[in-house]
Amino acid sequence: MSRGPCTVTLIPGDGIGPEVVAAAVRVLTATGIAFEWETEQAGSTAIGEHGTALPPRVLDSVRRNKVALKGPTETPVGTGHRSVNVELRKQLDLYANLRPVQSLPGIKSRYDGVDLVVVRENTEDLYSGLEHVVVPGVVESLKIITEKASTRIARFAFDYARGHGRKKVTAVHKANIMKLSDGLFLDCCRKVAKDYEGIGYEEMIVDNACMQLVLDPSRFDVLLLENLYGDIVSDLCAGFVGGLGMAPGANIGADGALFEAVHGSAPDIAGKNLANPVAVILSGALMLDHLGEHDAAERVRRAVRSVLVEGRKLTRDLGGTAGTSEIAEAIASRL
């Protein structure tokens, strides 16, 4: 049991966010851990109320509580406000994006026994958002890679591998073309790898890595990537285990952590009780691990697996007819 009430910033988000976050809260409450939820709005929902997609009070809440559970937020394509996810990670220096990818029972997939972890640098690269028009019809985007960020994400990946019994880290890059930027990233990874005896280290060009992943994901253990490559490859890996609805995620920094699913806000099914909440529930399990509640985290994972194996309360993307609240209640009842 918990050592005392834990205050968590709760960001429901947009679209299906409030539904799947409510489902995760139901399951986390059923563990018996004492939570106090401090709800804050961000994303398109917050614009009408606060005039901005990311009100300062959201950042203040996460800084104060040092842990947050977040639903998906909408990001307009090609126009509108900047990504709330990117801004949260940059403003709070949540530099490590952790995305475990693990096969779950009862889920139809072309792959069995997938068990790998994507570690993605979260604060720079092309996601720095430094763009400008050079002349009409020509736009320049700046790719920022620094020694500091590359070294600390590499150390995070190797520390994770050592702490979780992983055997190998694969640094994914495009240094054959971007010799300076990706070359710096690789140089930092190589230096860090020397400090971790017993953990294998290899390097792979990103396009080849994608092909090798599709051919045989079991050959990989921990994938270490820059921001853009990590975003793309983590979604690719989610396809091995049933899609984004099954993929949890964590954003971790030195002074806080934010937990969220990999998927988007799916406005087309918002408010219809159709969304699959498993990814956010499993993100909640990652949050429990972060809080030191490892037994409760494993109980949540066992409950999810039990419901999936039984197959009676599955959302339609999993081949069932249950609603968001029904699968959440089924999982909570196992706890």
Kindly list the catalytic residues.
Answer: 127, 174, 207, 231
- The residue type found at 37 is W
Q: Cα 190 to the chain's mean position, in Å? A: 25
* DSSP letter string, 116-169: EEEEEE-S-BGGG--EEEEETTEEEE--B--HHHHHHHHHHHHHHHHHTT--EE
For residue 289, what are its two tokens? 């691990």
* Count of residues in the chain: 335
Residue 143 burial class via C-beta count within 10 angstroms: exposed 0-12, middle 13-18, buried 19 and up:
middle
Tokens representing 333 are 């009842």
End-to-end CA distance of the chain: 13
Give the torsion through C-alpha atoms of 234, 54, 13, 157, to 10 deg. 30
Q: Give strand pairing partners of 139.
A: 133
The label of the residue with tokens 């992943």 reads 213
The conformation of residue 23, written as its DSSP 8-state character, comes to H
How would DSSP label each residue in 165-207?
A: T--EEEEEE-TTTSTTHHHHHHHHHHHHHTT-TTSEEEEEEHH
